Amino acid sequence: MQIKINIRLKDEGDFYFCIQMKLVLFLTFLLFFAELFSQPCHESTDLKTDILRDRLCPETMRTDLSELYEKLQKIHPDLYRYTNKYRVDAAYQRAFKRCNVSLSTYAFSTVLMEFLSELKDSHTSVSPYDFMWNNLLKRRYLPFTLALVDNQFVITKSWGNKIPVGAELLSINGKSINSIYKEAKQFSPMEGRSTKAQTEIAVNLLPMVTNLLMNRAQHTFSWVESKDTLSATLSSPPLWSVWKELSGENQNNITLVRTNGHATLTIRSFSVNHAGAFRKQLDDIFSALIANPPKQLIIDLRDNTGGYILLQEYLMSFFVPQGTKYKANYIYKRSEYDRFSQLSSFQRWKFVNSAKKAPLNSTLANEYRFYKSPLGSLDTVLNAPTLKNNKNLYFSGRCALLVNGMTMSAAANFTAWFKSTKRGLVFGSQVSGTNGGTFANPTEFFLEHSGVSISISTMKVDLVPTEKQTIEAILPDVWIIPEKTNRKQLDDFPIQFIMNYKAE
């Protein structure tokens, strides 16, 4: 395309004016063609969406952001527990401004997570895990795990064991591990002021984020071992072929191991499909522990992200005399997303019939009163169960509790209770929870246009008695910080540390 401009020059000023006009026209046409050939934005996404390349329109994102803000107001039971309305609204406005240009679904999710992080609620967040289902048939996944030791990212497991355990990881596909860690930290929730726990969560999420950002058939890793910098290229298998390893389905949820007279009880989750089987396994384990007592029982709740409160309480029943009371306040907000609204028809019928027969001031009767209240109602229900188990077992021996930053929700509340009862020392690192309790029972939904999966808490657990409701994180009595010489035994080191620990 050729443009002719015939301007008669009278003086030097006219000459410069002519040059400016030509420059303006040239830039205008550049912008026109850039817009013509630029990637269009989308009004909605689906499972075929490329979360890194396909872009969402600004109005689409702002509509979804508004939907999220409204749902927080309707669903969350204690939105300003760890913040205030001014700070939340300011975070919302910042997020709104970031949506003035088209963004990828992945980038938009980081905007949402930055907004939600103002709540300091580990149950209200965006999970990058859900993005693994996008383009599932083309999705590849390379499993590996890391630990942060001496401010260095250390390999604890690698696909095919091609990268030695204990090596310091430097980069993946030429991208520094520190830059990937910063990406992972954007998705890492935090309960209260558990900042150190958030760091551990970010390290745990780093492999997931790596695989989202780099969905390819091969990955090149660079690492340091014995002061030598080495590299290797690893094949990335299809997601379905490593699903069981990734999800942990091939691991037993409860295990008991005896070593040198000590016993280690590992519980990986309180979220199970069969609560009866969970209880029976604990019954059998504690029957054996009481019949043949160990020098010390180590309860390992590392990486236990929580689950059913009833199963948390069932575990507690073995460490105190039968009949001991436990108290916690449940703060509810009535909504179409609370746990009562999510009951199936049969579960609802069973709940209503049981509640009608319950004593007037019982927890069940109070929950039924809340269930009948209008949407938007707030209520505090005291949960004061008598701790007991099926076989009336009480393990009175010496105990220790092992936790880390991935100890969350029900597992974090167990830790707070364990400390308050002085049942034994707590070892490990900062827990993702507070001494006053955690949020709980998150509901999950997908934003209408972007399809981003959001979790929002529907309940707050306040532990009773506490001197005051606190934002401070649960700290261990004894910190376990792996040293350089222990890098090849990072999983076993904390257990060995506790076995050899002698209180001053």
Pick the CATH number of 254-500 from 3.90.226.10, 3.30.420.40, 3.40.50.10490, 3.30.310.40: 3.90.226.10
SS3 485: helix
Helices 58-75 and 85-98, axial angle in degrees (round to 10): 160
Q: State residue 476's pLDDT score.
A: 97
In this structure, of 127-131, 262-266, 300-304, the range with the lowest mean pLDDT score is 127-131
Q: What pLDDT does residue 1 have? A: 43
Q: Percent of the chain having pLDDT more than 90?
A: 75
Span 326-335, average pLDDT: 95
pLDDT of residue 497: 94
Ranking 93-107, 161-175, 379-393, 487-501 by mean pLDDT, the lowest is 487-501
- Reference 379, options 122, 82, 78; nearest CA is 78
Class of domain 44-130: alpha beta
Residue pair 315/267 in contact by the 8 Å Cβ criterion: yes
Percent of the chain scoring above 70 in pLDDT? 90
Please, is 410 exposed, middle or buried when counting C-beta atoms within 10 Å of its C-beta (0-12, 13-18, 19+)?
buried
Q: Does the pLDDT of residue 40 top 90, yes or no?
A: no
- Please tell me the predicted confidence (pLDDT) of residue 250: 62
- SS3 annotation, 321-338: CCCCECEEEEEEECCCCC
Q: List pLDDT tens digits, range 391-417.
A: 999 999 999 999 999 999 999 999 999
The CATH architecture assigned to 136-247 reads: Roll (2.30)
pLDDT at res. 484: 67
Residues contacting 491, CB < 8 A, separation 6+: 156
Compute the average pLDDT of residues 16-37: 50
pLDDT of residue 24: 53
Cα-based angle 335, 337, 343 (whole degrees, multiple of 5): 110
Could you give the CA distance from residue 403 to residue 415 in angstroms, rounded to a whole number?
8
pLDDT band at 2 (very low <50, low <70, confident <90, very high): very low
∠ CA 278-280-284, nearest 5°, is 120
CA distance 331 to 337: 15
Q: Is the pLDDT of residue 221 over 60?
A: yes
pLDDT band at residue 462 under the 50/70/90 scheme = very high
443 touches 418 (CB < 8 A): no
Strands 453-456 and 297-300, bridge-based pairing:
unpaired
The H helix count followed by the E strand count for the chain is 13, 22
Is the confidence at residue 494, as pLDDT, over 70?
yes
- The yes-or-no verdict on residue 8 having pLDDT over 80 is no
What are 46-96's pLDDT values in tens digits?
778 899 999 999 999 999 999 999 999 999 999 999 999 999 999 999 999
Average pLDDT over residues 142-165: 92
Q: Is the pLDDT of residue 29 over 60?
A: no
CA–CA distance, 81 with 294 (Å, rounded to integer) = 42
Average pLDDT over residues 249-254: 79
Whole-number pLDDT of residue 481: 87
Q: What number is the average pLDDT over the span 314-336?
A: 95
Q: Domain residue spans in the chain?
A: 44-130, 136-247, 254-500
User: What is the maximal distance between C-alpha atoms in the chain?
Assistant: 109
Alpha carbon separation from 367 to 310, 331, 343, 358 (Å, rounded): 15, 11, 13, 11
Rounded mean pLDDT of the chain? Answer: 89
Please state the rounded mean pLDDT for residues 268-284. Answer: 96
Examine the pLDDT at 487 and tell me if it is beyond 90: no
Residue type, 333: K
